[in-house]
Amino acid sequence: DSGVTQTPKHLITATGQRVTLRCSPRSGDLSVYWYQQSLDQGLQFLIQYYNGEERAKGNILERFSAQQFPDLHSELNLSSLELGDSALYFCASSALAGEGTDTQYFGPGTRLTVL
């Protein structure tokens, strides 16, 4: 158990809908990262928040947004869902901002299925 929690574990929804994925980092960790894992694209970095502020952005679609709250938990919002958004979404956390030896620990993931 990495100490990172994600809810829900599974999510099934329809095209065009909006969903929210939630992540609680390990106790004391300041950074939260979101990743998307699909069969064809592999593991793709989406976005990072550090202590409430957006720090790095990867291949995140405009239909997706995220935020980190004062208690450091984070939410990833996915809207106007398409079939291709079906994937495993991981949250990871690290103690600091991610430099050097700062290691990311992953949550169990949320499996999103868009029908």
Partner 1 sequence: AQKITQTQPGMFVQEKEAVTLDCTYDTSDPSYGLFWYKQPSSGEMIFLIYQGSYDQQNATEGRYSLNFQKARKSANLVISASQLGDSAMYFCAMREGDRDDKIIFGKGTRLHILP
Q: Are strands 110-114 and 10-13 parallel, antiparallel or unpaired?
A: parallel
In whole angstroms, give the CA distance from residue 69 to residue 106.
Answer: 19
Q: Outline where 16-115 has alpha helix (H).
A: none
Q: Give 45 or 79: the residue with its C-beta nearer to partner 1.
A: 45
In whole angstroms, give the CA distance from residue 71 to residue 88.
Answer: 25
Choose the stretch contacting partner 1; rule: CB under 8 A; options: 15-23, 68-76, 78-86, 107-115: 107-115
Show contacts with partner 1 in window 12-31 (CB under 8 A). 31
Based on the shown chain and the rule CB under 8 A, indicate whether residue 106 belongs to the binding site for partner 1.
Answer: yes
Q: Give 2 or 80: the residue with its C-beta nearer to partner 1.
A: 2
Residues engaged in binding partner 1 (CB under 8 A): 2, 31, 33, 42-43, 45, 48, 50, 55-56, 58, 88, 90, 92, 97-101, 103-109, 111
